[in-house]
Amino acid sequence: MPSRAKWTQQRTQPCPPNPDRDVISPDPGSFRDPASRVVIDGERIVRLLDERGLEGWRALAGTDFFESAVSEGRLIAAEEIDPPPGSAGALEHPRLPLISYPYEWTYSMLKDAALLQLDLLEGALNAGLTIKDSTPYNIQFVEGRPVFIDIGSFEAYRQGEPWIGYRQFTRQFLFPLMMRAWVGVPFQPWLRGDLEGLTPAQMARILGGKKRFNSGALLHVRLQARMEARMSGRAVREDLRTAGFTPELILANVRKLRALVTSLDWEHGKDGWSDYGSCDHVSRDRDAKSEFLRSAIGRVGPDRVLDLGANDGHFSTIAAEAGAQAIALDSDEAVLDDLYQRSAGLSLSVVLTDLGNPSPAQGWAGMERSGIIERAWPDLVIAYGLIHHLIYAASIPPREVLRWLRGFGTPVVVEFVSPADEMVAKLVGNKLPHELHGGREEGEFRALLGDFFEIRSERKLQSDTRVLFDLDPR
């Protein structure tokens, strides 16, 4: 059993597994529920429970519902271990390949997570349990499927209790999905800006047109907004219990919400970079780039590969099929949504973020949710078809792009695109040559490369305007 000193309460940033770490650190994102907190013990993920948390766990662990949900991959596995001093109980969970946040998910990911939340609540109620909150932060994605990870959210259902997480479900699942499906506005910037999601009053203002009169909108948006305003500060929980509230009322609500969520659909068509795969240079160079990547993977032997600007995930999939955990990162929701729907069974994580402004560390004390780059900790980085976008579209100086790539501290596979390339002409648009940064020509770029990397191998592509580099950090 670890010493009390090891179970320090000092909070630190999330970090890669490290069996040599001598300090057990609370997960900075797990502190709101006093009954259950996650700590990181080197490579182990441990949940510490107080008396009430232990009571909830025991109620859950004894049900067929728990066993079937775990075996179906809908609920994270948990094994009871000896608790450290100061805790009534402790559970150990398997480590997840990547923690991602709802503002980094595509539409289908949030929708699948919402349906999982409702299915688990229904299953829990039928087993005499409830789920005390309803936040998508309790759900993660493993091999293209949502998995509920917060075992501490389950507790025995107390007769007469309403669904405490209903409001949170609407704010963090339902309204963001409505915003995308009905209004056509992406929910991710809002969820990134306000971690609590949209309030009913905000959603009521956002919804326009005929959708305002949809029965789901009238109930969950407009009526909830109205009742929130009217009932503010007036406790009703005990009154509902005394008045005879039953779990059947929650189940009826869950069924209606499931039908509503299922009916929400986002038709993204061929937006943004959805057609990228049909570009001449992509189809022409794809085989050569795949072969070059396989060679780099063979040389490095990575456990984790970060694919920056992953687009349709072709190269992430190569890494996953080679046995690595691939993280496919892109800013185009449509292509990533398609990739997510094809990723079942693959060790591939989809992350939606703009590399010109990647997800930052934020939340309580600026640490509750960590930045995406901190969470990735790759062994190999792929930067195919990326850096010319950063240089020409985002106006990042080539030296700064290379300094940033060097910051990963890992080998990098880079595709250099010369100013003569057809795609660069499109990206430059109306910018004049003197308005662009230096270091764009191949000779200049090679000189910059030498400041940060050693070239292990290189290959000129058929177009003659693109060169692949397999690089080791200096």
Interface with another protein by CB under 8 A: which residues? 32-35, 52, 132-133, 158, 161-168, 170, 200-201, 204, 218-219, 222-240, 242-246, 248-250, 252-253, 256
By C-beta, is 115 or 201 nearer to another protein?
201
CB of 316 to another protein, least distance (A): 36
By C-beta, is 233 or 429 nearer to another protein?
233
CB of 132 to another protein, least distance (A): 7
d(CA 211, CA 221): 11
By C-beta, is 330 or 368 nearer to another protein?
368
- Specify whether the CB–CB gap between 348 and 326 falls below 8 A: yes
By C-beta, is 234 or 434 nearer to another protein?
234
CB of 124 to another protein, least distance (A): 16
d(CA 121, CA 256): 13
CB of 117 to another protein, least distance (A): 14
CB of 72 to another protein, least distance (A): 27
Please count the residues of the chain: 474
By C-beta, is 77 or 229 nearer to another protein?
229
How many CB atoms lie under 10 A from the CB of residue 352? 25
Q: Dihedrals φ, ψ of 78, to 5°?
A: -150, 135
d(CA 119, CA 385): 40
CB of 42 to another protein, least distance (A): 28
CB burial of residue 217 (10 Å; 0-12, 13-18, 19+) = buried
By C-beta, is 131 or 423 nearer to another protein?
131
By C-beta, is 150 or 332 nearer to another protein?
150
CB burial of residue 251 (10 Å; 0-12, 13-18, 19+) = middle
| Tokens matching residue 397 | 């100086």
Which residues have C-beta within 8 Å of that of residue 34, sequence separation ≥ 6? Answer: 50
CB of 58 to another protein, least distance (A): 16
By C-beta, is 229 or 447 nearer to another protein?
229
C-alpha R_g of the chain: 24
Strand pairing category for 44-49 and 89-93: antiparallel
CB of 175 to another protein, least distance (A): 13
CB of 134 to another protein, least distance (A): 9
| Tokens matching residue 234 | 């007036």
CB of 390 to another protein, least distance (A): 41
By C-beta, is 218 or 455 nearer to another protein?
218
CB of 56 to another protein, least distance (A): 10
b/e map 152-163, b = 16+ CB within 10 Å: bbbbebeebbbb
By C-beta, is 113 or 424 nearer to another protein?
113
By C-beta, is 129 or 296 nearer to another protein?
129
